[in-house]
Amino acid sequence: MLSNHFQNGMETAKLVWSRLPNSEEGELDEVGISKKSDSNGVESLDYEVIENYAYREEQEKRGRLFVSYQVSLKWFLALLIGIGTGLAAIFINISVENFAGWKFALTFAIIQKSYLAGLLVYVIFNLALVFSSVYIVTRFAPAAAGSGIPEIKGYLNGIDVHGILLFRTLVGKIFGSIGSVGGGLALGKEGPLVHIGACIASLLGQGGSTKYHLSSRWLQGFNSDRDRRDLVTCGCAAGVAAAFRAPVGGVLFALEEVTSWWRSQLMWRVFFTSAVVAVVVRTAMAWCKSGKCGHFGAGGFIIWDISDGQEDYSFAELLPMAVIGVIGGLLGALFNQLTRYITYWRRNYLHKKGTRVKIIEVCLISVITSAISFGLPLLRKCSPCPASEVECPNPPGMYGNYVNFYCRGDKEYNDLATIFFNTQDDAIRNLFSAKTIHEYSAQSLLTFLVMFYTLAVVTFGTAVPAGQFVPGIMIGSTYGRLVGMFVVNFYKKPNIEEGTYALLGAASFLGGSMRVTVSLCVIMVEISNNLKFLPLIMLVLLISKAVGDAFNDGLYEEQARLRGIPLLESRPKNQMRKMTAKEGCRTRKVVSLPRVIRVSDAVAILRCNKHNGFPVIDHTRSGETLVIGLMLRSHFLVLLQSKVDFQHSSLPSDSRGGSFPIRHNNSEFIKPVSSTGLSLDDIYLSQDDLDMYIDLAPFLNPSPYIVPEDMSLTKVYNLFRQLGLRHVLVVPRPSRVLGLITRKDLLIEDDDDSDTELQSTSVRTQYRNVGSVSRSVDVEQPLLNGLLVQNK
């Protein structure tokens, strides 16, 4: 009975929350992608290896030396990704800390004479930094707006959003993050660092940027979508490792939250990349300790050492800690819902008015944020400095717990200004600090929580690089410390530290908003440098995630849905269990191509639809129609542009018993990263060209994945997602069995010990007898005619 009431309550809560718009309204095209997606749209990636005749010919020519070169190049690129991401993080952190230091030093110097003049300088300084950020993003790199994690998550899920991995996006993300974070907006730089790492990885994988003449042919070894996926995964882990100085957390974040496909070889390279980042960042911090980095003091790179904090906890403290988890789940779900609503309104109404409106919006938010952060501390009374060995008050612009702002006495500090007039990293370190009981009043913490929470909701989604990790930690640590103050006053135990509850509050809000558990738990342990809190962090994360899941999805999933990125989640929908593969095709008419097709007919087919995959059919001597493979649209366009495969005859090119003439390199069929690629409008065909024919057999994929028509859609979904597919052919129930393969048949001794991802499908392998079946498995065995499940 109790479980039924609880379930009914959860359903009612979901119904109330679902009344707010959860996605952009719009008509869906034939593949389920919203037509009101971002300007350039999205397109699926070809993670499946196209094992056509040209691919097999190229693989057979590669020997051990080439394979060893590829393996060595992968590790070398992993090294470069780690170094590049680490250097980018160092540059961003040093820039942000110095801009913030100059701003606070100048402001505090001016307010000694006039608070009004100090306010004016403070607002103008922040406005200049924020304006530079939004101008760079809107005019130079539109894809650099936001955190970038939803787009990168979509890329690793098989969806390419145009422009997200370009060189100008990288530049816009770096300098835009400096302006938005240094300008005091309620945003963080950790999410953009994940995007930066992915951009660096993608650019290194393709040898640099040819458009800006920054390329090297020695690095151009991995241009396929499958290879880029592995490199981008390394870049994502490197970004998290650089942002939090948490190499293990970076690996787990890439595994848990970002990527949809994983294997042991990739794990080693990702781990190596994160280790390189940790070394680079540690080296930079050691160099900065000599005072060569200006205002970059103890802050900048996130590590909040609270190893000298609370040593142990009692069983009675678990209840308020669980309450922190519940609060984190509720506030995190509310944050996701509010940002979803505001982002929906912003994209459909405000941002459609042009670039100027985006710039005005961000500048207005900057002025409001500066006025609030400067004005609210003026309303608070100052407190006397504690009788301890710590320096109080501290000079402005440097690391310290106590800030003298609008105080009459020299030995007084303003607790609200201590939070506002610090960089986010230093403010969090203050909130986490131990042995600082009664440093903050409950009124100041509550005031900061309400204002910063509101500013974070409004600011997230604007046209600047915006991360939500550090603002989430700020919000969580504030209400966590409030709960800690209550526990200290209630239990009257001297060993209880408010900073411990601030740490748990930060973990709970991130768990309730982002719904990350394992990787976030490790990250929080790494940045706090205290392993004793691991069970407590696990407790609040589990509670906050469970509470948040009762209302909506995670922050990145919500934002991906608003951006029109069709993510395939780890679990299929429940209604798929009652559907078959044939029903999943939505009864769409399949557009098939003959093996030898007239060029004019091919152009007409490509113009009349937007499919990216076409089944190719052929006729046997008995007149039976068979599907012999799948032809990609991008490959077809390359053939039409080159024209070298045009022929006058309508007969197959190997009809006289010869082999297929291969006039192309396999790299010619690879689409440039994060671009629209070749389109039909870019190809000029004369009337003589239109009267020619093309034999598609050498260039199609002769062994696409197929499923029977009565297979459950749930099983098709799992197959589609786990293998990273783009197309699945749905065929009738086969009439006969050609062979049976078991685990024993797959345990074939291989003389080549190289660690390579090359597919061993270019050679027809004779398998041993399996039971009573003894057949040859031929990768060119024609497929039965059927329907097509197509992901655009």
Q: Is the pLDDT of residue 684 over 60?
A: yes
Q: Is the pLDDT of residue 724 over 80?
A: yes
Q: Is the pLDDT of residue 564 over 50?
A: yes
Whats the size of the chain, residue-wise? 792
Q: 769: which residues sit within 8 A by CB, 6+ positions away?
A: none
Q: Is the pLDDT of residue 1 over 70?
A: no
Q: What is the pLDDT of residue 4?
A: 53
Q: Pick the range with the lowest mean pLDDT from 113-117, 403-407, 551-555.
A: 403-407
Give the rounded distance of the alpha carbon of 787 from its chain centre. 33
Strand 727-731, strand 706-708: pairing? parallel
The pair of three-digit structure tokens given for residue 409, joined into one six-digit string = 């006495």
Looking at residues 537-563, what average pLDDT do you find?
Answer: 92
Query: Among 21-25, 195-199, 649-653, which range has the highest average pLDDT?
Result: 195-199
Q: What is the pLDDT of residue 785?
A: 36
Helices 225-244 and 64-110: angle between axes, nearest 10 degrees: 40
Strand 593-594, strand 613-619: pairing? parallel
Q: Is the pLDDT of residue 352 over 60?
A: yes
Q: Is the pLDDT of residue 723 over 70?
A: yes
C-alpha span between 349 and 414 (Å, rounded): 41
Burial of 577 (C-beta count, 10 Å sphere; 0-12/13-18/19+): exposed
C-alpha span between 199 and 465 (Å, rounded): 14
pLDDT band of 285, cuts 50, 70, 90: confident
Residue 47 identity: Y
Q: What is the pLDDT of residue 458?
A: 94
DSSP 782: P
Burial of 690 (C-beta count, 10 Å sphere; 0-12/13-18/19+): middle
**Quick one: what percent of the chain has pLDDT higher than 70?**
82
Q: What is the pLDDT of residue 490?
A: 84
C-alpha span between 242 and 264 (Å, rounded): 23
| Other beta carbons within 10 Å of 410 | 9
When comparing pLDDT for 707 and 495, which is higher?
707
Confirm if 24 and 34 have CB atoms less than 8 A apart: yes
C-alpha span between 189 and 199 (Å, rounded): 15
Per-residue model confidence as pLDDT tens digits over 739-757? 888 888 888 765 544 444 4
C-alpha span between 377 and 419 (Å, rounded): 9
Tell me which residue of 661, 663, 665 sits closest to 652, measured CA to CA.
661
Bond into 142 cis (ω within 30): no
Looking at residues 255-275, what average pLDDT do you find?
Answer: 89
Q: 569: which residues sit within 8 A by CB, 6+ positions away?
A: 557
Q: Is the pLDDT of residue 780 over 60?
A: no
C-alpha span between 624 and 618 (Å, rounded): 8
Q: What is the largest CA-CA distance in the chain?
A: 101
Tell me which residue of 381, 374, 359, 305 sits closest to 180, measured CA to CA.
359
Q: What is the pLDDT of residue 329?
A: 95
> What number of H helices and E strands is found in the chain?
26, 14
Q: Is the pLDDT of residue 480 over 90?
A: yes
Q: Is 706 helix (H, G, I), strand (E, B) or coil?
A: strand
- Provide the mean pLDDT of the chain: 81
DSSP 325: H
When comparing pLDDT for 662 and 644, which is higher?
644
Q: Report CA-CA distances (Å) from 362 to 142, 179, 366, 463, 766.
A: 14, 12, 6, 7, 65
DSSP 215: E
Q: Is the pLDDT of residue 173 over 90?
A: yes
DSSP 675: S
Q: Is 119 helix (H, G, I), strand (E, B) or coil?
A: helix
C-alpha span between 308 and 302 (Å, rounded): 17
Q: What is the pLDDT of residue 347?
A: 87
Phi first, then psi: what are they for 594, rounded to 5°? -75, 160
Tell me which residue of 171, 167, 168, 181 sits closest to 94, measured CA to CA.
181
Per-residue model confidence as pLDDT tens digits over 389-447? 667 777 655 556 678 887 877 788 888 888 888 888 788 888 887 777 777 888 999 99
Helices 518-528 and 225-244: angle between axes, nearest 10 degrees: 40
Q: Is the pLDDT of residue 277 over 90?
A: yes
Q: Pick the range with the lowest mean pLDDT from 217-221, 227-231, 372-376, 782-786.
A: 782-786
Q: 280: which residues sit within 8 A by CB, 6+ positions away?
A: 82, 83, 86, 87, 90, 242
Q: Is the pLDDT of residue 712 over 70?
A: yes
Looking at residues 316-328, what average pLDDT do you find?
Answer: 91
Q: What is the pLDDT of residue 588?
A: 67
C-alpha span between 682 and 570 (Å, rounded): 38
When comparing pLDDT for 143 and 39, which is higher?
143
**Quick one: what percent of the chain has pLDDT higher than 90?**
33
Q: What is the pLDDT of residue 214?
A: 65
Q: Is the pLDDT of residue 730 over 80?
A: yes
Confirm if 306 and 528 have CB atoms less than 8 A apart: yes
Q: Token match 């006025």: residue? A: 371
DSSP 260: S
Q: What is the pLDDT of residue 358?
A: 92
Phi first, then psi: what are they for 112, rounded to 5°? -65, -25
Q: Is the pLDDT of residue 92 over 70?
A: yes
Q: Pick the range with the lowest mean pLDDT from 204-218, 704-718, 753-767.
A: 753-767
Strand 159-161, strand 706-708: pairing? unpaired
pLDDT band of 60, cuts 50, 70, 90: confident
Q: Report CA-CA distances (Å) from 274 to 157, 227, 240, 258, 283.
A: 21, 19, 8, 15, 14
Q: Is the pLDDT of residue 212 over 70?
A: no
The pair of three-digit structure tokens given for residue 273, joined into one six-digit string = 């990349």
Confirm if 145 and 459 have CB atoms less than 8 A apart: no
Q: Token match 């882990």: residue? A: 237
When comparing pLDDT for 169 and 736, which is higher?
169
Q: Is 330 helix (H, G, I), strand (E, B) or coil?
A: helix
pTM of the model: 0.84
Q: What is the DSSP string of 33-73?
A: -BTTS-TT-EEE---S----HHHHHHHHT--HHHHHHHHHH
Phi first, then psi: what are they for 75, rounded to 5°? -70, -35
Phi first, then psi: what are they for 229, rounded to 5°? -60, -45
Residue 129 identity: L
C-alpha span between 404 and 395 (Å, rounded): 8
Confirm if 657 and 617 have CB atoms less than 8 A apart: no
Q: What is the pLDDT of residue 768?
A: 38
What 489-498 contacts at long range (C-beta under 8 Å, 24+ apart), as own/partner pairs, is 491/314, 491/316, 491/317, 493/314, 495/310, 495/311, 495/312, 496/310, 496/313, 496/317, 497/309, 497/310, 497/434, 497/435, 497/437, 498/436, 498/437
Looking at residues 127-136, what average pLDDT do you find?
Answer: 95
Q: Is the pLDDT of residue 772 over 50?
A: no
Phi first, then psi: what are they for 28, rounded to 5°? -95, 140
Strand order in the sheet with 787-790: 706-708, 727-731, 787-790
pLDDT band of 16, cuts 50, 70, 90: very low
Looking at residues 555-559, what average pLDDT do you find?
Answer: 91
Q: Is the pLDDT of residue 158 over 60?
A: yes
Looking at residues 162-186, what average pLDDT do you find?
Answer: 92
Query: Cα 412–414–420 angle (5° rounding)?
Result: 150
Q: Is 188 helix (H, G, I), strand (E, B) or coil?
A: strand
